[in-house]
Amino acid sequence: MFDYINGKIVSKQNSVIGGASFVVECNNIGYLINTTGRTVAEAIQEGTQTKVYTTLIHREDAMILCGFLNKGDRDIFNILMTVSGVGMKVALVLLDKFSGCDLISVVIKGDYKELSKAKGVGPKLAQKIILELKDKLINWQKNSPLDIPDVADKSSISDVSSEALNEVQAVLLSLGYSSQEAGAAIKQACRIVDKKDSSEDILKEALSYLSQD
């Protein structure tokens, strides 16, 4: 319903009891936005204008607005919510412990021990999240291989494996980016990353590129 809200931050909160949240005023309406402690810490000072990427969660007893300053974090939050056993609170905990890019890297690597460092996420849940999320991020979109010459120029393609590129594209498409956006981001990432056989490194740079407003 709301893709983003562009308004003025009028208050911020980051408490153990109430959780992390802030209020954005837009057109004389104050939107209470649930978020992570990381986002509150990164939020610009109260009284300044900012864009918040949002997701509306509709429950029987409440309508809750969650938001992030980074579009990539919002998109990763949305796909986390599709994993069975992961609700809003767990998704926010994970994105409080890890940035969106780091979280995806942990999932791609299958490092459940690292994932279980998030508060309230035990080893069993961490393994379940990795199993389901990795499948959603990679396998769902693997039938759309990249035309590699169109993605990276000859100077940057020689040491890029097609498997790594296809894996990165699959993740980006799963997060809701178009094939054109994914191609442009991967092309940019290939110019920056040194270890181009690593899908995690390429993905991190691609997500960083796509998160730029």
| pLDDT of 157 | 47
- Across residues 101-115, what is the average pLDDT? 87
Does 112 lie in the same domain as 125? yes
* Non-local CB neighbours of 213 within 8 Å, separated by 6+ positions: 51, 71
pLDDT for residue 54 is more than 90: yes
**208 vs 213, more confident:** 208
Does 114 lie in the same domain as 54? no
Identify the domain boundary among 24, 49, 68.
68
Q: Using the 8-state DSSP alphabet, how is residue 25 labeled?
A: E
- Across residues 83-104, what is the average pLDDT? 88
> For the chain, what's the residue count?
213
Share of the chain above pLDDT 90, in %: 30
**2 vs 80, more confident:** 80
What domain count does the chain have?
A: 3
Amino acid at 176: G
| pLDDT of 149 | 46
- Across residues 83-101, what is the average pLDDT? 89
pLDDT for residue 170 is more than 80: yes
Domain range spanning residue 77? 73-135
Identify the domain boundary among 90, 117, 135.
135
Identify the domain boundary among 50, 68, 86.
68
Does 166 lie in the same domain as 109? no
| pLDDT of 213 | 56
pLDDT for residue 10 is more than 70: yes
pLDDT for residue 154 is more than 60: no
Distances (CA, A) of 10 to 47, 109, 202: 6, 40, 37
37-58 core/surface letters (b: 16 or more CB in 10 A; e: else): bbbbeebeeeeeeeebbbbeee
Q: Please, which pLDDT band fits residue 142 given cuts at 50, 70 and 90? A: low
